[in-house]
Amino acid sequence: MLLKMGSLVLVLLIVGYCIFHFHRNKEKMSKSIEWASSLVTGVSAAVFSFLLIQVSNFNLILTIVGALLFTLVSGFLSKSLFPEQNGANEWLSGLVGTTLGATFGYMMFLSTKPILILDVVFILFIYLLLMFFDRQLKEDSKRKTGKKNIKQSSNVSTIMLSMLLVIVLLVIGINIKQIKMGVIGQPQNQTAAIEQDNNLQVATIHVTRAGIEPKNTTLKAYTMLKLIFDVEKELGNNIKFVSNDLKINADLKSGKNTILLDDPQAGNYTYTIQPGNYSGTITVRPSK
């Protein structure tokens, strides 16, 4: 949790510095780099939304409210850079970024790995962008191009961002049924651990709103299995473990639940978690 919260604070600090840097060089900015603030807003909104939906454990309402507030504040702070566009580009790019970031964050399994990767990529992106921005400032200053035709350029970019936002929303709306929670990066397989003292196999399966983690559990035949189902608190207590193959129909409550399989025979066994119809498998391999 500390890593996730720290990542959110990091994004806020970096965006704040970028906006301050742009305002400090406002008089030097020309139409050739007017897109920089919109790009920062859009990318940072995507990163912020991705992190927020992961930190909130797929809380869509909190993510939408937080991401929109982030976009509105960023757009308000940036709009005076180009009075002709009145912050429209920043808000539009922020909405595009928020939509994409929240969608991919919703589909990504809860893990620290994507957050670490995203932090590194975001920092590298901002560093390269600011380096290019400063270099462009020097070149524009030498050419003394000023701010000619900013209004026309801003209008074109505003129209393009509006079209992009509509396209993104249409694509997501059409494919809304295919967007599933936490399907990207979800662990697929585990091997049961052996307790030598008790001659017992132990495996833990996590039941979350994103489904079952992992999907498959592998173990050896003829050795008792202690299967622990760790049910997420948000799912409540009306959960069932159902397996026709194993002839088991057991109630699961919030927290850890234990099911013992005595002398499992070699084979593949399927089960479901109800409600939600989440399916998983248990693979029993012959003992060597």
Domains, the chain, in order of start with CATH, read 2-178 (no CATH), 189-285 (2.60.40.420)
pLDDT at 136 over 90: no
pLDDT confidence of residue 151: 46
> What single string gives the DSSP state of each residue in 150-197?
HHHHHHHHHHHHHHHHHHHHHHHHHTGGG--TT-BT---EEE-EEETT
Q: What is the pTM of this model?
A: 0.77
pLDDT confidence of residue 51: 94
**What value does the mean pLDDT of the chain take?**
85
Cβ contacts of 192 within 8 Å, gap of 6 or more: 201, 202, 203, 217, 218, 219, 220, 225
pLDDT at 287 over 80: no
pLDDT at 81 over 80: no
pLDDT confidence of residue 264: 85
Q: How does pLDDT run across 21-78, given as a tens digit for each residue?
A: 888 887 776 665 677 888 889 999 999 999 999 988 888 899 999 999 998 888 888 7
Mean pLDDT of 113-122: 92
Mean pLDDT of 177-191: 82
pLDDT confidence of residue 256: 92
pLDDT confidence of residue 32: 58
pLDDT at 119 over 80: yes
Q: How does pLDDT run across 141-174, given as a tens digit for each residue?
A: 666 544 444 444 557 778 888 999 999 999 999 9
pLDDT confidence of residue 147: 47
